[in-house]
Amino acid sequence: RKEVEQDPGPFNVPEGATVAFNCTYSNSASQSFFWYRQDCRKEPKLLMSVYSSGNEDGRFTAQLNRASQYISLLIRDSKLSDSATYLCVVNRVGTASKLTFGTGTRLQVTL
């Protein structure tokens, strides 16, 4: 079983739609969680951290469910510029330095 699992998609949504991605992780002792964004043929960039209480950044909302070991990302009012691959990231237990990346969920927002 992979440490971090994501639906690869693609998710094709019209502009203005709300879309949600989920991610599951296998190690219940994982401590830190993130969403990174990767544009086509570009490097990954941190989108937002995920806190137990949930957190929001503009149109983006991230939530963590420790009991079920999943993380979600909700994007409201999708823009064309949101088209990218969204990587779910978990830190490895024992060291905060080692991040484990999911293989990503691809989002395509269309007119």
φ, ψ of residue 81 in degrees (nearest 5): -70, -10
Q: Pick one of 104, 105, 106, 109: the residue that binds another protein (CB under 8 A).
A: 104
Per the CB < 8 A criterion, the answer to whether 10 and 29 are in contact is no
Q: 49 to 78, contacts with another protein by CB under 8 A?
A: 49
The alpha carbon dihedral of 104, 35, 97, 41 has a sign of: positive
In the bound state with another protein, the residue whose beta carbon lies nearer, of 17 and 91, is 91
Residue 38 contacts by C-beta under 8 Å, 6 or more apart in sequence?
A: 44, 45, 84, 85, 86, 87, 104
Q: Pick one of 39, 45, 52, 57: the residue that binds another protein (CB under 8 A).
A: 45
Check binding of 27 to another protein (CB under 8 A): no
Check binding of 91 to another protein (CB under 8 A): yes
Using CB under 8 A as the binding criterion, the count of chain residues that bind another protein stands at 20
Check binding of 46 to another protein (CB under 8 A): yes
Q: Within 13 Å and on the Cβ side, how many CA atoms surround 58? A: 6
Q: Pick one of 28, 53, 68, 95: the residue that binds another protein (CB under 8 A).
A: 95
Check binding of 93 to another protein (CB under 8 A): no
